[in-house]
Amino acid sequence: MAENSFDLVVIGAGPGGYHAAIRGAQLGLKVAVVEKDDGTGIGGLGGVCLNWGCIPSKSLLKNAELLNQMKDADEWGFSFDNFHADMGKAVDRSRKVSSTLTQGIGYLFRKNKIELFRGAGRFTSSTTVLVEGGPELTATNIVIATGARPRSLPGLEIDGESVITSRNALEMRETPNAIGIVGGGAIGVEFAYYFRAYGAEVTIFEMLDHLVPNEDEEVSAELERAYKKLGIKYVTGARVAGTERRDGKTVVNYEAAGEQSEYECDMVLLGIGVAPNTDDIGLEAAGVALDERGFIPIDGKMRTNVPNIYCVGDVTGKLLLAHVAFKQGVVAAETINGMETPDIIYSDMPRATYCQPQVASIGLTEAQATEQGLNVKSGKFLFRGNGKAIALNEYDGFIKIVSDAESGEIVGAHMIGPDVTELLAEIGVVKTLEGTPDEIAWTTHAHPTLSEALMEAALSVEGEAIHGA
């Protein structure tokens, strides 16, 4: 095979791209990855997730969690004078965490003999990719993994100062006095928790009726109660018309409950809306089609309309989560290698939000299951009945399991409380195996652990929870 000829070329080294590349190399394919890093945070090994998303944000959220615990120091038996929280040092730590992981991706590329070409990649045909400032690569198969980026909304044009993105927020070294957040989904509620912990006045504007509106309604209501305790304000049913600068401040103009209102703050974080990175990568030369939103349509095996070109990650517009991209990358590589893989069931992908209390879910909500005509049976267990949660002094929240009364199969689980994102894997395995609440209930869970709450929730489906209220 010629020097610049490969079995597989992957454009983009984010979660989906690097999984496709590594899995392809494991299967014996000659693999190259083309990755740009233009300084905007859209790029670099590990993509947005490792560099400017999932990983650094979780690092900062840990700082916020510790800071909030320090506010209750007396309850833990600690006392100190002149306590100071340095947001800049928290940012420095988050950058070190990201750097460690991106270096790890580089090591895995070298270990698997994956050739990395640094620079923007552009199709010149359906089998060739030109690297900016570098060679033209020929490939039998190509995976597009170019991701997505935050997009401005009418009246909310991103300028990095008065209207910022999560990327900008991850680099802020000083706490704003007041910040408005447009969007009450995962990004919005996570940054609300972070900024509030450092003392900022925070107001979230959410267009729908609840925070985290895609979650079970009871979970949303519980998070809203928790945020009220923290002093985080929110306006639901809000339509933000735009912002304006006035006397050195940013003024948010919005409508809620039929009334026009204003909110004055230092800046606005835009936590909704992304645009796919499909521009200027030569899709026309390759013949790859786009949908009406500008994303790249794929089938169950990640194939585009061009037989040898696949697509994974956020640029598909399917479900914009890193672990979904992980799975898509593996499916693409294995399909290229001629292997049979099951289709991804996107409704069964775990969903995790890392505010405090954490929010985690998988499968259908109770309302969705009912809408689909299922005879629903559900059980709920409060963390107030869990010994480990009481010991941690983190006992707000609950676990709710939704099952089909006829088959007994679990169709969904919805959690809010301490470290519930770590409980997703157990319910995910049971759901994959088409398991029932009984099978969780009869599995002995170590005591004292938070996982016991999952067991009790399973027992409560039949009204048998031992520690249930």
State both tokens at 221.
């209501």
State both tokens at 269.
């974080």
447 is annotated as an active-site residue: yes
Cα separation, 175 vs 240, whole angstroms: 24
Cα separation, 461 vs 440, whole angstroms: 11
Helices and strands (H and E) in the chain: how many: 15, 22
In 3D space, the residue among 34, 58, 10 whose CA is nearest the CA of residue 119 turns out to be 34
In 3D space, the residue among 339, 180, 159 whose CA is nearest the CA of residue 254 turns out to be 180
Cα separation, 44 vs 37, whole angstroms: 5
Of 19, 84, 210, 447, the catalytic one is: 447
DSSP string spanning 149-197? Answer: EE--BTTB---SSSEE-HHHHHH--S--SEEEEE--SHHHHHHHHHHHH
DSSP string spanning 186-232? Answer: HHHHHHHHHHHHTT-EEEEEESSSSSSTTS-HHHHHHHHHHHHHHT-
Cα torsion 307, 309, 315, 320: sign = positive
In 3D space, the residue among 130, 402, 82 whose CA is nearest the CA of residue 282 turns out to be 130
- Cis link prior to 213 (omega < 30° from 0)? no
The dihedral over CA atoms of 406, 408, 410, 412, expressed in degrees to the nearest 10, equals: 40
Q: Strand 136-144 vs strand 398-404: parallel, antiparallel, or unpaired?
A: unpaired
Give yes or no for a contact between 333 and 8, defined as CB atoms under 8 angstroms apart: yes
Element (H, E) at 24: helix 15-26
Element (H, E) at 91: helix 87-111
Cα separation, 433 vs 365, whole angstroms: 19
Residue 323 neighbours by CB distance under 10 Å:
17
Cα separation, 141 vs 342, whole angstroms: 20
Element (H, E) at 416: strand 410-417
Show which residues are catalytic. Answer: 447
